[in-house]
Amino acid sequence: MSSFDTIIPTQANTVKSSGSPPEYKSSTKKFEVFDAALRVLLFATALVAIIVMATSKQTKVITLLPGMTVPVVAKFDQSPAFIYFVAALSVACLYSIITVVLSILASMKKGGDTSNLHFYFMMFDVLLLGIVASATSAAGGVAYIGLKGNSHTGWAKICNVYGSFCFHVAASIVLSLISSITLLLLVWLSIYVLFKKITRR
């Protein structure tokens, strides 16, 4: 009788510990859907920012002497900071395509453990966040000089002449800021999912 009593609780504990609770599976599924949505947002903002910056070309005709005019072009590839900006967002755009596919596949997989995937996502998201944030800061510094100039170094402002060019640059930088915030949210989400996974054990 005593042996029978010891077997029953053991079997009950085994049944109870096997598998994940339904509420945990439901919350994990919500996190994966939110992760995929954020990565789609990252792709959209990065792609639009690249297009807006690449189409920021503007030409103005400058009069040097009476009857002598010279066309002067302002475009993004004249500044190393803007080139770095476009390159960084291009990497973010490609990265978001790869990770959104992996995130969708992980959300469709039944009973799979996505802890390792979230760990790798977190590492690469942090790396890309640093790249995109630094590119946004560099482009923002150049854009500010174009808007305000710098009297100490003799750098004249150009946005009073190239208004359309500066508007494109400003819009692209704002979109890049949204991309940076999206990456930050992705990092927080991965940390939270891993934390929930660790505390369950």
Closest by CA to 127, choosing from 184, 87, 173, is 184
pLDDT in tens, 103-138: 778 777 765 556 677 788 889 999 999 999 999 999
Task: Between 123 and 17, name the one with better pLDDT.
Answer: 123
Helix, strand, coil abundance in the chain, percent, nearest 5 = 75, 10, 15
Mean pLDDT of the chain: 82
Half-sphere exposure of 108 (CA within 13 A, CB side): 6
41 neighbors 182 (Cβ within 8 angstroms): yes
Share of the chain above pLDDT 90, in %: 43
Q: Which of 90-94, 103-107, 179-183 has the lowest mean pLDDT?
A: 103-107
45 neighbors 182 (Cβ within 8 angstroms): yes
Q: Which of 6-10, 103-107, 110-114, 182-186 has the lowest mean pLDDT?
A: 6-10
Give Dmax over CA atoms of the chain in angstroms: 113
103 neighbors 39 (Cβ within 8 angstroms): yes
pLDDT in tens, 39-62: 999 999 999 999 999 998 888 887
Rounded CA separation 40/182 (Å)? 10
Rounded CA separation 26/147 (Å)? 50
Return the bridge partners of 72, or none.
60
Work out the average pLDDT over 179-193: 91
Residue 158: pLDDT band by 50, 70, 90 thresholds?
confident
Residue 66, pLDDT > 90, answer no
Task: Between 81 and 9, name the one with better pLDDT.
Answer: 81
In terms of pTM, does the model score above 0.75? yes
pLDDT at 25: 54
